[in-house]
């Protein structure tokens, strides 16, 4: 695997730092080789995620809850309801947290995330910080707030800097509003809630000025800036929104997650991207904004087609 | 392979009618099975396209120009320049045209398309109508012209109906402007040229009011409406543009490709999409417009994530 590059980053580097799991179509050999090092986490014949050897080893110590064959692990068949499966997973990951078995669980969130086996079929819920131990797909929303270009001023974007004390990616730049979707919230409800909590943007303004703009999908291998040991597998789905922020409306931190907001021109955002100042998936969402707004085009970006495809990766796991 | 569905189409059906080649990530078994029926068209170890058995059979009759092993075909190694390769391909496909070997060549265009082995590396050029015989990636532009919503009127789109006499997809609905990119034109030059030719939109207005908006990639298996026998493989890259058409500017046919233009509301476009009235790849580009403009969202489209990913398929061939 390539090392993560941190400065003078091209847009392709930025995508690569976030969509870092080899792609089965464009990198079939690297994909097959990497996959051999994992065990499949399965439910009724469907693969929900990939397990690192150290996780499989830890699951082997829990034969009451887990059934493990050579290449696949699944919950014991007696866990045959949403509640029983969720309970068994809770038991499993709380044990690991209490034993301090995996450093990533120091970031325990007390938030439950859903795992889908298909449309409208939630198999179980799981503590947010533990999802990456099982390689589960997680879901979030990202919104870029901007002031459109006028005759006298260029387009500008409201960019927050994360609190240096935040457990994950402290001090890095972010999208205007972003957050994970806890069960059973909808993407839109999450957007409205986080806009209030992270940026003091009133619900009414968000509802009036925000437009859905698609979804970004990618497959991240975590780095140590996330807290913990790094190397975890994180296929992610981010619902994307654009919000026109009226001149005079100033986003303000409202909880301890954001340190400050700055109004940046596209050139300033590009410079910060190239310097590696953005949290990896926020860089990817910013590139998606640039593509949709005609800032990044085939005329100024040599890897335009690859970048557009990788912003919308086909994930190999069941989706909602 | 699923049959093409023609009425009461969902957005997923519309994508499926255009992105019809099985995906290696989400349909690994169907992909592997289908691939076994083809021979790879290779150049210096890179696969440029897939060849149907009947094409391989025809290539075997030309041992001077073609080298064929069990699973791969390539141009004879003496064809070691762009010019020699282009000349050999010209000889090959003109022979087939004159012999009426493949019906699709009745649509001979006298337009040359480039085939890339990688960025800025054009291996050869090839008659447009013959590209699908070799499964080569082709490139085009699609532009949707629209009147933005106002306080008193909803968003409306300028939709042309193709001439019933057009060889391919006669009588079907299209995007406002669309066209293939002939060698060595750029996407933007093609947009400006086609906007004048197909819709009488002056270059100056196009340059002022048009915004790049990404790229759609998909892998189409052609149907008989395209002319010829159907079943050809067409991986395609379409550069996408949005144009704000000022109230009062009316696109008008300027060549014999378009019959008429109509100004449709989103609801009217949706109805025509569901009725199968749009040319398959124009339906896909329309869905991309709906996603980017917040018309299609996770709240009203059950297969939202899949659709967004399939609009931006990772193609397994070298790209420019």
Q: Could you read off the pLDDT of B168-193 as tens digits, one per residue?
A: 899 999 999 999 999 999 999 999 99
How many structural domains comprise chain B? 2
Position A4 in a domain:
no
Question: Considering the domain boundaries, does residue B63 fall inside one?
Answer: yes
Q: Are residues A167 and A304 in the same domain?
A: yes
Is A50 inside a domain boundary? yes
Helix (H, G, I), strand (E, B) or coil at B309: helix
Query: What span, in angstroms and rounded, lies between the C-alpha atoms of A278 and A265?
Result: 15
Are residues B257 and B113 part of one domain? no
CA distance A246 to A229: 42
Domain co-membership, A125 together with A54? yes
pLDDT computed for residue A2 by the predictor:
46
Contact B186 A213 (CB under 8 A): no
**How sure is the predictor about B228, in pLDDT bands with cuts at 50, 70 and 90?**
confident
Residue B23: inside a domain, yes or no? Answer: no
Q: Do A187 and B25 touch (CB under 8 A)?
A: no
- pLDDT of amino acid B1: 40
Q: B4 lies in a domain?
A: no
A217 inside 8 A of chain B by CB: yes
Residue numbers in B near A211 (CB within 8 A): 293-294
Q: Indicate the burial class of B171 (C-beta count within 10 angstroms; 0-12, 13-18, 19 or more).
A: middle
For residue A82, what is the domain's CATH number?
Answer: 3.30.750.160
Question: Any idea what the Cα angle at residue B236 is, between residues B231 and B237, rounded to 5°?
Answer: 175
Omega prior to B184 cis, within 30 of 0? yes
- Which of A133, A153, A188 terminates a domain? The answer is A133
B299 — contact with chain A (CB < 8 Å)? yes
Domain boundary among A83, A114, A133: A133
The CATH number linked to B246 is 3.90.79.10
B-chain CB neighbours of A24 within 8 Å are 24-25, 28
Structure tokens at A182: 């806890």
Is A27 contained in some domain?
Answer: no
pLDDT digits (tens, 9 = 90+) for B36-48: 999 999 999 999 9
CA distance B84 to B74: 13
Interface test with B, best of A119, A191, A298, A315 (most B CBs within 10 A): A298
* Pair (A64, A169) in one structural domain: no
Please check whether residues B194 and B218 belong to one and the same domain: yes
pLDDT at A220: 97
Residue of A239, A292, A302 with shortest CB distance to B213: A292
**Does the beta carbon of A155 lie under 8 angstroms from any beta carbon of chain B?**
no
Record: contact A315-B291, CB cut-off 8 A? no
More confident residue, B225 or B125: B125
What is the Cα A76 distance to its own chain's centre? 29
Q: Are B296 and B26 in contact (CB under 8 A)?
A: no
**Does residue B42 share a domain with residue B142?**
no
* Percentage of chain B modeled with pLDDT above 90: 92
Cβ–Cβ gap A315/B237 under 8 Å: no
Q: A269 with A157: CB under 8 angstroms?
A: yes
User: Is A256 among the domain residues?
Assistant: yes
Contact B26 A316 (CB under 8 A): yes
Minimum Cα–Cα distance from B22: chain A residue: A25
B44 and B82, same domain (yes or no):
yes
Domain that holds residue A278: 11-19+138-310
B131, B149, B175 - which closes a domain: B131
Mutation target among A212, A289, A295, A318 for the B interface, most CBs of B within 10 A: A212
Q: Mutating which of B314, B316, B318, B320 best tests the A interface, going by the most A Cβ atoms within 10 A?
A: B314
Residue to mutate among A28, A120, A308, with most B CBs inside 10 A, is A308
A200 near A224, Cβ under 8 Å?
no
Claim to verify: residue A182 and residue A235 sit in the same structural domain: yes
Low-confidence ranges of chain A (pLDDT < 50): 1-2
Structural domain contains residue A315: no
Q: How far is CA A251 from the centre of its chain?
A: 23
Chain B residues touching residue A26 (CB < 8 angstroms): 314, 316
Tally of CA atoms within 13 A in the half-sphere of B189 that contains its CB: 6
Are A110 and A159 contained in the same domain?
no
Do B70 and B210 lie in one domain? The reply is: no
- Do A156 and A305 share a domain, yes or no? yes
Average pLDDT, chain A: 96
Q: How far is CA B61 from the centre of its chain?
A: 30
Is B312 in contact with A316 (Cβ distance < 8 A)? Answer: no
Give the model's confidence band at B7: pLDDT under 50 very low, under 70 low, under 90 confident, else very high. Answer: confident
Average pLDDT over residues B249-266: 93
Question: Is B315 in Cβ contact with A313 (below 8 Å)?
Answer: no
Percentage of chain B surpassing pLDDT 70?
98
B144 and B242 in a common domain: yes
Query: What pLDDT is stored for residue B223 in this prediction?
Result: 86
**pLDDT given at position B2:** 46
Q: For position A181, what pLDDT does the model report?
A: 98
The pLDDT of residue A88 is: 98
């Amino acid at each position: 695997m390539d090392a993560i590059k941190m400065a003078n980053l091209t847009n392709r580097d930025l995508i690569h730092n976030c969509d870092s799991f080899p792609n089965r179509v464009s990198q079939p050999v690297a994909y097959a080789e990497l996959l051999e090092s994992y065990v499949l986490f399965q439910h009724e014949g469907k693969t929900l995620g990939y397990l690192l050897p150290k996780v499989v080893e830890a699951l082997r110590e829990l034969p009451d809850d887990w059934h493990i064959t050579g290449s696949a692990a699944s919950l014991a068949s007696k866990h045959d309801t949403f509640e029983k499966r969720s309970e068994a997973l809770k038991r499993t990951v709380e044990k690991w947290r209490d034993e301090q078995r995996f450093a990533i669980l120091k970031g325990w969130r007390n938030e439950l995330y859903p795992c889908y086996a298909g449309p409208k079929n939630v198999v179980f819920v799981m503590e947010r910080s533990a999802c990456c131990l099982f390689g589960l797909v997680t879901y979030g929303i990202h919104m870029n707030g901007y002031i459109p270009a006028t005759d006298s001023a260029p387009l500008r974007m409201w960019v927050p800097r994360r609190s240096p004390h935040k457990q994950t990616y402290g001090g890095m730049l972010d999208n205007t509003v972003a957050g994970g979707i806890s069960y059973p919230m909808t993407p839109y409800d999450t957007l409205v809630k986080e806009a209030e909590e992270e940026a003091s943007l009133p619900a009414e303004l968000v509802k009036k000025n925000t437009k859905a703009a698609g979804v970004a999908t990618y497959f991240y291998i975590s780095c140590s800036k996330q807290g913990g040991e790094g190397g975890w597998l994180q296929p992610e789905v981010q619902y994307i929104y654009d919000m026109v922020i009226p001149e005079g409306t100033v986003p303000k931190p409202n909880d301890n997650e954001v340190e400050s907001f700055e109004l940046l021109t596209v050139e300033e955002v590009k410079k910060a991207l190239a310097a590696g100042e953005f949290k990896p998936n926020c860089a990817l969402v910013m590139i998606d904004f640039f593509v949709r707004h005609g800032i990044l085009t085939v005329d100024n970006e040599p890897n335009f087609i690859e970048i557009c495809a990788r912003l919308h990766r086909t994930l190999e796991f069941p989706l909602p």
